[in-house]
Amino acid sequence: MDAVIQNVNVGIPKSEMQFFRRLAKKMGWEIYSPESLLKAYIDSRPKNVELSEDEILEEVNKVRYNR
């Protein structure tokens, strides 16, 4: 049977974090901090985007200001 994955955010006291990590490991869950998610997103972005500064500003103006 395939499990449906549900992502949730849980606030846990620091004093309980070690217990929660052990529980997650036993259950086969994965724990991600907001920082690790942001880092993974940034790391997955292209490194060499061939856009000029003018092209970037033009796109920003289109999206933000409908120009």
C-alpha 29/C-alpha 13 separation (Å) is 19
Higher pLDDT: 3 or 52? It is: 52
**What tokens does 3 get?**
């499990």
Q: How far is CA 48 from CA 4, 42, 51, in A?
A: 36, 13, 9
Q: Identify the helix (H) or strand (E) that includes residue 43.
A: helix 34-44
* Whole-prediction pTM: 0.52
Instruction: Output DSSP code: residue 49.
Output: -
Give pLDDT tens digits for 7-45. Answer: 888 899 999 999 999 999 999 999 988 899 999 999 999
Amino acid at site 31 = I
- Tell whether the model's pLDDT for residue 2 goes beyond 80: no
Asked whether the beta carbons of 30 and 23 are under 8 A apart, the reply is no
